[in-house]
Structure 1
Amino acid sequence: MPIPEFVVRLREHIGHDPLWLPAVTAVVLRGEEVLLVRRSDNGRWAPVTGIVDPGEHPALTAVREAEEETGVEIEVEALAWVSITPVLTHVNGDLAQYLDHTFRCRYVAGEAHVGDDESTEVRWAPLDDLPEMQPVMVERIRTAVAHAGDVRLD
């Protein structure tokens, strides 16, 4: 996964020490299907995810990441869940913890395809037949699909 330039610059000062980063998960729905990418860093299926750039609103990050990674235009419908990951160790030894904003999004237009080197495949998957993926990613999808009303906080 390409590391955003602002993170590269921060790492020049802090090395591999833990870094707190805002992030998004865009659960893009089209009828009874969800848009998924197969991540190039670990080979796992997941919804579209990304790091929020400095000063960028997380909802705009979701829109940007969906377009960059899949070529699909989306509309954010709702913030469905705000969660915190455990501290993660990346393959290069960097430590990071993410404040994830999971958004329920609606497909607007575009033919889904691999848009950058962050993924190796892109596909629409039936909600009732998801491929194997990390449990937290399934939970993010289920939370976004079921979302109605208040934002889930935990």
Structure 2
Amino acid sequence: MHGNGRGSTVVDRRRDDGTTEVLLIRRADTGRWSNVAGIIEPGEEPADAAERETLEEARVVVVAEKLVWVRVLPPMQWANGDQAQSLDLVFRCRHVSGDPAPLDGENTDPAWFGLDELPPLPSRHLERIEVALADEPATRFERNGPTGSDRTEP
């Protein structure tokens, strides 16, 4: 089993009327809308990867401001039989500059959407947006086993 890191970003900005909008991309391979996401390169810091992927996929410059969620994605199996499992790191990023435009061929229509204008999205993408915009003080962690306070032995 191989492991790697995956960064997902929720990029938000304020409209002139004070409402929030988020950056989404339409994937070229599936035609589905998604948060910006990508693989963390060897030796690359996760926040740098979030910023790089947003620039590569949407031609938008962002600053990763907060790691909002950490979880393990379900295992997957490649066509050659290799198995992999990724750690999903979700960052809230602030828009700095740039108008969305496809840049790397992985997507066709990067665009800003108001929260009441979102296109159909998988529930996991909606959940990422919700967690990122909740502005909770701590990073969210998923747990499948007992937490520290539930453990009786070291």
Q: Which residue of 2 aligns with 1:21?
A: 4
Alpha-carbon RMSD across the aligned residues, in angstroms, is: 1.6
Q: Which residue of 2 aligns with 1:79?
A: 67
In the TM superposition, what is the alpha-carbon distance from 1:90 to its structure 2 partner?
5.5
Secondary structure in 2 aligned to 1:80? strand
* Structure 1 residues 93 and 141: alpha-carbon distance in aligned structure 2, compared to 1, 3 A threshold: farther
For 2:134, give the aligned amino acid. Answer: A
Alignment of 1:103-118 (within 5 A): 103-118=91-106
Q: Which residue of 1 aligns with 2:85?
A: 97
Dislocated runs of 4+, deviation >3 Å: 89-95
- Give the distance between the partners of 1:128 and 1:60, measured in 2 at CA: 30
- Unaligned runs of 5+ residues in structure 2 are 15-19, 143-154
- Give the distance between the partners of 1:92 and 1:123, measured in 2 at CA: 35
Q: Which residue of 2 aligns with 1:123?
A: 111
- Unaligned runs of 5+ residues in structure 1 are 1-17
Alignment of 1:137-148 (within 5 A): 137-148=125-136
Deviates more, 1:21-30 or 1:87-96: 87-96
Q: Which has the higher helix share?
A: 1
- Give the distance between the partners of 2:35 and 2:123, measured in 1 at CA: 12
In the TM superposition, what is the alpha-carbon distance from 1:141 to its structure 2 partner?
0.9
In the TM superposition, what is the alpha-carbon distance from 1:45 to its structure 2 partner?
0.6
Deviates more, 1:59-68 or 1:129-138: 129-138
- Give the distance between the partners of 2:57 and 2:84, measured in 1 at CA: 22
For 2:68, give the aligned amino acid. Answer: A
Alignment of 1:12-51 (within 5 A): 18-31=1-14, 32-51=20-39
Give TM-score, length-normalised by structure 1. 0.83
Q: Which residue of 2 aligns with 1:61?
A: 49
Q: Percent identity?
A: 43
Deviations 1:70-117 (A, max 9, x none): 110001110000011111345787643210110001101011100111
In the TM superposition, what is the alpha-carbon distance from 1:147 to its structure 2 partner?
2.6
